[in-house]
Amino acid sequence: MTETLTREALTAADRCDRCGAAAVVRAVLPTGGELLFCGHHANKHSERLGELAATIEDTRGEAAVVADAR
Ligand SMILES: [Zn+2]
């Protein structure tokens, strides 16, 4: 099976699906769906995304800060 998945890096044009802030995390669902999150919502939904077995692409890299999302 040859499947080429070319995902472009997140840009300033990519917005969080929840609040419209600049997206820094992309969550790819096993179903092929894709969700974009800002840092705040990525943290907030990380548990749920884990349950969905989503693949997380975090463009924040090592600078990622796990904040208390409240
Ligand atoms: Zn957000």
Long-range contacts of 2-7 (CB under 8 A, 24+ apart): 7/57
* Ligand 1 center to 69 CA (angstroms): 11
CA of residue 25 to ligand 1 center, whole Å: 10
- Per-residue model confidence as pLDDT tens digits over 26-38: 999 999 999 999 9
What backbone torsions phi and psi does residue 27 show, to the nearest 5 degrees? -110, 120
The pLDDT tens digits for 46-57 are: 999 999 999 999
Q: How far apart are CA 1 and CA 60, in angstroms?
A: 32
With CA atoms as reference, report the closest residue to 40 among 16, 62, 11: 16
Return the amino acid letter for 19. Answer: C
pTM, two decimal places: 0.73
- Tens digits of residue pLDDT in 2-45: 556 566 788 889 999 999 999 999 999 999 999 999 999 999 99
> Residue 1 above 60 pLDDT?
no
pLDDT at position 59: 86
46 Cα to the center of ligand 1, angstroms: 12
- The structure tokens 């929840």 sit at 18
